[in-house]
Amino acid sequence: MTAPIWTKKDLLGIAELSDSEIRTILSTAESFSEVAERPVKKVPTLRGKTVVNLFFEPSTRTRVSFEIAAQRLSADIVNFSTEGSSQSKGETLTDTAKNIASMFPDFVVVRHRHVGVPAMLARELKAAVVNAGDGSHEHPTQALLDALTIRRHKGSIQGLTVAMVGDITHSRVARSNIHLLTRLGARVRVAGPRTMVPADIAALGVEVHYALEPAIRDADVVMMLRLQLERQSRFLFPSLGEYARLFGLTLDRLELAKPDAIVLHPGPMNRGVEIASDVADGPRSVILDQVGQGVAVRMAVLYLLAAARGGQIA
């Protein structure tokens, strides 16, 4: 008997995935990348299935990317965002969940500022739940698309040195990427001001720096992160200007990395703060490739979760 390709009901975080599940998502995403190059960008895989995009926090790339992924798989997709929803009228999350369940969606993609909301919905709903970012906890599909982008440019992740710079404490992108990239054999360095790096982060198997330069020296990959001001109770640095001066990636500083180093940023970028425009738009930047890989990764995730539900997959 062959093992089922996927058994998990939900995708809540990288930490809960096995090595073989990670490999399965990445290789499935590779095969979906090709759909984007076809004249007719659609496969019938999820015909008759409904995806609900539940975004309680702002999003551009992630929401649109799940939407395109669902449409390319022929699923129907409904977008729900906080503005205009009953949550802004005081409805509890449990009531929102019950109402959504009554409409029998097959997939719920959720982003929320509180850690654990996707896990709570996963327990309450029969639908497959995908975490599209919960507070400063996890953002698994972002890490998967980052890994796919790195692999496409560097061949393999094993043995690479990856520097992540910025607000590590509040970044769900950093947390998911630390889990994923260390598992795939990268040497991960994190760097940021002391006020934005958790004291116990080294326990996750990363090298810790409190300055940008030692972190990016001889790195193969430099990942810049946005200051998560919405998650900081007060600004954890004297000023934005000073942050940019000490932790912003400029062309001069990028010289410290390997000559063929690539630069990633999950977006949205604050140009002139964590990244200079000439780096963001320069030849080493793969920031727009990341966005492209996002669609393939989300197609792969929806496809695999449908397989676990015994959905007809073509």
Residues 6 or more apart whose CB falls under 8 angstroms from that of 255 comprise none
What CA–CA distance (Å, rounded) separates 154 from 160? 9
Least gap, CB of 226 to ligand NCD (angstroms): 4
Does residue 139 have an active-site annotation? yes
Least gap, CB of 18 to ligand NCD (angstroms): 24
Q: Using the minimum distance from each CB to ligand NCD, give the nearer residue, 286 or 307.
A: 286
List residues binding ligand NCD (CB under 6 A). 61-62, 133, 139, 142, 172-173, 226, 266-267
What CA–CA distance (Å, rounded) separates 194 from 196? 5
Does residue 89 have an active-site annotation? yes
Q: Using the minimum distance from each CB to ligand NCD, give the nearer residue, 139 or 189.
A: 139
Residue 219: half-sphere exposure toward Cβ, Cα within 13 Å:
31
Of the candidates 61, 187, 258, 271, the residue annotated as catalytic is 61
Find out whether 140 and 14 touch, Cβ atoms under 8 Å: yes
Find out whether 28 and 304 touch, Cβ atoms under 8 Å: yes
Least gap, CB of 267 to ligand NCD (angstroms): 5
Find out whether 273 and 244 touch, Cβ atoms under 8 Å: yes
What CA–CA distance (Å, rounded) separates 225 from 106? 33
Of the candidates 63, 72, 111, 298, the residue annotated as catalytic is 111
Least gap, CB of 4 to ligand NCD (angstroms): 30
Q: Using the minimum distance from each CB to ligand NCD, give the nearer residue, 139 or 284.
A: 139
Of the candidates 28, 62, 141, 149, the residue annotated as catalytic is 62
Q: Using the minimum distance from each CB to ligand NCD, give the nearer residue, 189 or 226.
A: 226
What CA–CA distance (Å, rounded) separates 221 from 239? 27
Find out whether 255 and 246 touch, Cβ atoms under 8 Å: no
Does residue 169 have an active-site annotation? no
Q: Using the minimum distance from each CB to ligand NCD, give the nearer residue, 28 or 176.
A: 176
Does residue 2 have an active-site annotation? no
For ligand NCD, which residue has the nearest CB? 226
Least gap, CB of 290 to ligand NCD (angstroms): 8
What CA–CA distance (Å, rounded) separates 238 from 299? 42
List the catalytic residues.
61-62, 89, 111, 139
